[in-house]
A and B are shown apart, each in its own frame.
Chain A
Amino acid sequence: MHFKLNNVIPAILADRPSVRISGIWGQAIEWKKGDFIKITAPSGTGKTTLVHLLYGLRKDYSGEVLYEGKNIQLIDSSELANLRQLHWSIVFQDLRLFPNLTARENIELKRVLQNPIVRVEQIEEMASQLGILSILDQQSMHCSYGEQQRVSILRALMQPFDFIILDEPFSHLDNANKKIAAALIEAECKKRSAGLIITDLDKDEHFDYQVSLNL
């Protein structure tokens, strides 16, 4: 299980000078399952764009993004759904929770979208670890951004995956909660022997990265 990027340049960044010195854009890169990859970049250099094209949300780029040798641009909607249910998990920078559902329902939805691999009791255990047990039955739109971020992290851990893609996942968490969340994510990755691709503004030591790249 691996991602391969061949000379990928997003259309919206093609004319920017920063692309020429990027460690990812226009390069040939391969990330294997189990690798922990850190991508550091300042704002506006395309972190979210990278996340979206890895996750198959954007197709406006030149070059190729391959997963298991298959060009993501050419994958049909059924296969893409299968990858998102069983092989890729994600925490969006903008979280993307259903505002009308409770935190628990948002998490549960992801758990039952495919054959569940996490027991219902484990949701509460993990929620307790992340400090969001008390808000599980609140509508997510009434939760603080930090709480929503943790709900979003917990949601991403409800499914099987080979890679978890995290787009600035701790931006609204304090250091103590960052550590707890990172530990939980790492443990779940180890359980699945999965890789992790995280983007952030700064370097950090939340995980033991095998690859660290500047965008």
Chain B
Amino acid sequence: MLNHLLKKLIRNHSGIIRMITSRIGLGIAVFLLLTAIQIQSNYHFLLNSSNNKDSIADFLVINKILDNNNLSNTKLDQDLINEIAKQPFTESVGILTPSRFKASIQSISDRFPFYTDISFESVPSDFIDVKNDQFSWDPNAAYVPVIVPNMFLDIYNFQFSISQNLPQLTPAIVKMIVFKLTVYGKNGPISFNAKIVGLSDRISSMLVPVEFIRWGNNYAETKSNNEVSRLVLKTNDPSNAAIVSFLKKYNLSTNTEKLRYSKYRKVIDAVVAIAGLTGVLMLVFALIIFTLFIQLTISNCKQEIILLITLGAAPKQLSKFLLRQFYPGNLLSIGSATLLLILLQYGLKIFLEKQLIFIPSAISWITLITVGALSFLLWIVTKKAIQKHINA
């Protein structure tokens, strides 16, 4: 009954259109802010989720930029390797170990005659994108498995074979060809059978198992030289602009094409920042307008409020009543914005799923915490504005 009477005394003066407009503004502000947070959250999910890892995580082969000043001095020292491993964008670092022995390969078939000197590299198997149980070696193995860059086969099929009048080779045929691999050491050349077991896009190098490189380096008895010139960096976020800055700082280079995401990321970050900033600004304006609205409402019925207090109404009693009048509407604005975001997130999930990009169907807990924090902020602002003007 008291509320009914208070409503009659205090609400008569409220402008319903102004109230609705300020709440719509508040809803839009909250929506923009939550959207910015949710976009960031989705992006991080894409980076860290195991479902999406292969699509975004990337492997960068890093070496020093070669110029006139560092010819024959492209060693990556251990301090720098440690520094790279410590960076937040680094998930793991793999050393590319080069062969330090002379080697050649030649065809054992007259149909595809070829001979060439060659060198190899090895890398820990975690960094190889060709999953092949046969990619290991010991001196008694039937053949040395080799992983070849796809690009090499393309060069053969679309340049070399045409110019030399040789047949083109499919990946399946290439894997069937056995060739002779000869390693030259102090005790004379030793030949092995070798076979291409996979074609890779990840690392542009002729890869053989680590065991073979170790054996070969040992056999060749080259002076112990464990210098590292190249390494593979596994990063969960190739779009991270910090990678580009880091590489530039230490005069390192990588396949810049792989860093193209950083450009996209900058655009996404800018869009998200603009949305977030607009949301924050709108929220600030909405709060100011809302505070003014409370002030106006209280000023318009100041006489009634004075008389109520004169008759014994406690300012706290009136504040509580006014809070109940204003706050649920604010909660409705926040709730509507959250609901809209939930629906959009679900829609986005369905849409991206078709493109094999997986994001959660629900909004993130950070977004939910923000919803809670905004509700609390609004409660405080509403309460303080009411108390200020009631006691004025």
Contact = CB atoms under 8 A, between A and B. Distances in A.
Interface of A: 57, 77-78, 81-82, 84-85, 96, 98, 100-101, 105, 108-110, 112-114, 159
Interface in B293-324: 304, 307, 309-317
A119 to B, nearest CB: 13
Contact of B5 (A81, A82, A108): A108
Given A98-B304, A100-B9, A78 B316 contact: yes
B312 A159 contact: yes
A110 B315 contact: no
A160 to B, nearest CB: 11
Contact of A81 (B1, B12, B309): B309
B317 A81 contact: yes
Contact of A105 (B8, B12, B307): B8
Contacts of B311: 84, 96, 109-110, 113
Contacts of A100: 8-9, 12
A37 to B, nearest CB: 21
A101 B307 CA distance: 13
A187 to B, nearest CB: 22
Nearest to B390: A77
Interface string B186-208: 00000000000000000000000
Given A108-B5, A112-B5, A77 B315 contact: yes
Nearest to A87: B312
Given A112-B1, A112-B2, A81 B310 contact: no
6 contacts: A81-B313, A82-B314, A85-B314, A105-B8, A108-B1, A113-B312
Contact of B312 (A96, A108, A114): A114
Given A81-B317, A100-B12, A109 B312 contact: no
A159 B2 CA distance: 14
Contacts of B312: 81, 84-85, 110, 113-114, 159
Interface in B110-156: none
A101 B314 contact: no
B72 interface: no
Q: Which of A78, A98, A110 has the most CB of B within 10 A?
A: A98
Nearest to A78: B314
B164 interface: no
Contacts of B256: none
A84 B221 CA distance: 103
Interface in B310-359: 310-317
Contacts of A112: 1-2, 5
B68 interface: no
B69 interface: no
Interface string B1-26: 11001001100100000000000000
Interface string B224-249: 00000000000000000000000000
Nearest to B6: A109
A101 B1 contact: no
A84 B317 CA distance: 13
Contact of B307 (A81, A98, A108, A114): A98
Contacts of B309: 77, 81
A167 B5 CA distance: 26
Contacts of A98: 9, 304, 307
B315 A81 contact: yes
Nearest to A85: B312
Contacts of B391: 77
A172 B123 CA distance: 106
A109 B5 contact: yes
Nearest to B312: A84
A55 to B, nearest CB: 8
Contacts of A96: 307, 310-311
B194 to A, nearest CB: 91
A84 B59 CA distance: 77
Nearest 5 A/B pairs, CB to CB: A84-B312, A81-B314, A85-B312, A112-B2, A109-B5
Contacts of A78: 314-316
Nearest to B315: A77
Given A77-B315, A77-B391, A81-B315, A113 B9 contact: no
Q: Which of A77, A85, A112, A113 has the most CB of B within 10 A?
A: A113
Interface in B356-392: 391
Nearest to B306: A96
A105 B314 contact: no
